Amino acid sequence: MSQSARKLHLNAFLFGTGHHEASWRLPGAAPEKNTEFSHIRAIAQTAERGLLDSLFLADGYEGRANKLEPFTLLSALAAATKRIGLIATVGTTYNEPFHVARKFASLDHISKGRAGWNIVTGAGAAAPNFSREEHPEHSERYETAEEFVEIVKRLWDSWEDDAIVNDKVGGIHIDNSKVHDINFQGDRYKVRGPLNIARPPQGYPVLVQAGSSETGRSFAARFAEVIFTAQQSLGEAQTFYADVKSRLAGYGRRPDELIIMPGISPILAETEAEARDIEDELFRLIDLDGAVRRLSERLGLELSASRIDEPLSVEAARRTEQVNGNKSRHQLVLDLIERERLTLRQLINRLAGARGHFTFTGTPLQLADTLEAWFRQGGADGFNVMPQVYPGGLELFVDRVVPELQNRGLFRTEYEGTTLRDNLGLNRPANVRYAADDHSQREVGA
């Protein structure tokens, strides 16, 4: 595809009152609506009005987040929207492949082909909630995830596309010769199959991945069709983009088979000064003691609020290889401290906006300039839009940034199709496991 014909992709990352940790304290915020479906539905419909590719729900099994379970919420949103994709995070460490395959197939059928799976290996704090004393080690989690995803794909393929016959005259409901046991036996799982629901409309729901560690990049190059990533600058984004795209050939894949979408977390207003005022108010509302405590735990340092305006040093900080969690995000924080010589207050403010994603404060026109630069200069295929304040931040993005991107020929003016794959420009995967089989001698039964 020529550079002029390329269109960028946009995802809306749903996140309570906004991605800034203090957004819930703003006078106009309504944190009590975080579990109110009508409120979330309105946000989803705003994103669809802006022709965004998808909505994304992060999820985990720990903490005090007070958020709805993603399959329940996205199934309800499927009935309230028509074209926008619906992406849910589901971890591989604390689930079973059969359950995950069934749930995503169901969501894809309910939404008529708009489901996506954000594949994560899970957070360590969840272990005690699943009768486990320890979180598996990083490399072990990814080895498990590789087997897990392979099983899920085989279960989706266990029904051929034309397995459902519904021949009332002949009395044939399902062609049983086109529904297959998968008989998978690996190092960690043993799964017979078949799945108990027909192959999803998209073949596979779109496979999304968010890890940026060395292991995560290789995993993405093998399995992912979309990557959500956190990069702090255009230069870092370009390096990540080139690296991951270069790995695809090793798995027989083309660069256009993987869409890379860095996070962008904006504060928008009609003037830059107004946007800075909003930013300053959010900074004032940060719980500094809580932020210092969390950073102390993350970095393995004894930080003190009394030294809030002194430069930080990472010499004694926990190294990335010692982390059994999100290694790439930990390294991002270390790099940020070293590169920009930040004080503790400055680091807290930088991370408060979007937990390490690129933050932006300014006007819609300035944001469009930034998105265009990253897109045209090899840093992104699109963006994971993370407004620091919901719902107003998304409304401004849809009403002011999207039209500007359309005027520049960078974004669609209508949806390309009805499925998430259609709108992302991704092919529907063929069921190659069984496409070449000779069905002529198979017994057909109800």
User: pLDDT, tens digit, for every residue of 73-103?
Assistant: 999 999 999 999 999 999 999 999 999 999 9
As a whole number of Å, the CA-based R_g of the chain is: 23
Q: Quote the pLDDT of residue 325.
A: 67
pLDDT reading at 441 higher than 60: no
**Position with higher pLDDT, 368 vs 308:** 368
Pseudo-torsion of CA 253, 256, 260, 266, nearest 10°? -170
Split at pLDDT 50, 70, 90, the class of 44 is very high
φ/ψ (deg, to 5) at 360: -140, 135
pLDDT for 130 beyond 60: yes
> In this predicted structure, what is the pLDDT of residue 370?
98
Predicted confidence at residue 306, as pLDDT, reads 64
pLDDT, position 266: 98
Instruction: Return the pLDDT at 237.
Output: 96
Q: Is the pLDDT of residue 364 over 60?
A: yes
- 420-433 residue pLDDT tens: 999 999 999 999 98
For position 2, what pLDDT does the model report?
55
Beta strands in 280-331 (DSSP E): none
> Taking residues 332-345, what's their average pLDDT?
81
Q: Given a cut of 80, is residue 69 above it in pLDDT? A: yes
pLDDT in tens, 391-437: 999 999 999 999 999 999 999 999 999 999 999 999 999 999 886 55
**Which pTM was predicted?**
0.91
Domains of the chain: 9-270+357-430 (3.20.20.30)
pLDDT band at 276 (very low <50, low <70, confident <90, very high): very high
What whole-number distance in Å separates Cα of residue 255 and Cα of residue 365?
30
Confidence (pLDDT) at 350: 86
Measured CA to CA, the distance from residue 431 to residue 158 in angstroms comes to: 9
- Lowest average pLDDT, out of 125-139, 147-161, 332-346, goes to 332-346
pLDDT band at 216 (very low <50, low <70, confident <90, very high): confident
Q: Provide the token pair at 92.
A: 């591989």
Structure tokens at 60: 């985990």
Stretch 355-366: mean pLDDT: 94
Average pLDDT, the chain: 91
> pLDDT tens across 201-214, in order?
999 999 999 877 88
For the chain, counts of helices (H) and of strands (E): 15, 13
Check residue 298 and give its pLDDT. Answer: 79
Please provide the DSSP assignment of 144-197 as one string. Answer: HHHHHHHHHHHHHHTB-TT-EEEETTTTEEE-GGGB----EE-SS-EE----SS
- Does pLDDT of 344 surpass 90? no
pLDDT digits (tens, 9 = 90+) for 1-42: 555 689 999 999 999 999 999 999 999 999 999 999 999 999
Inform me whether the pLDDT recorded for 439 exceeds 70: no
Evaluate whether 393 touches 279 at the Cβ level (below 8 Å).
Answer: no
277 or 336, higher pLDDT: 277
Query: Residue 436: what pLDDT?
Result: 54
Residue 359 confidence (pLDDT): 95
d(CA 180, CA 446): 15
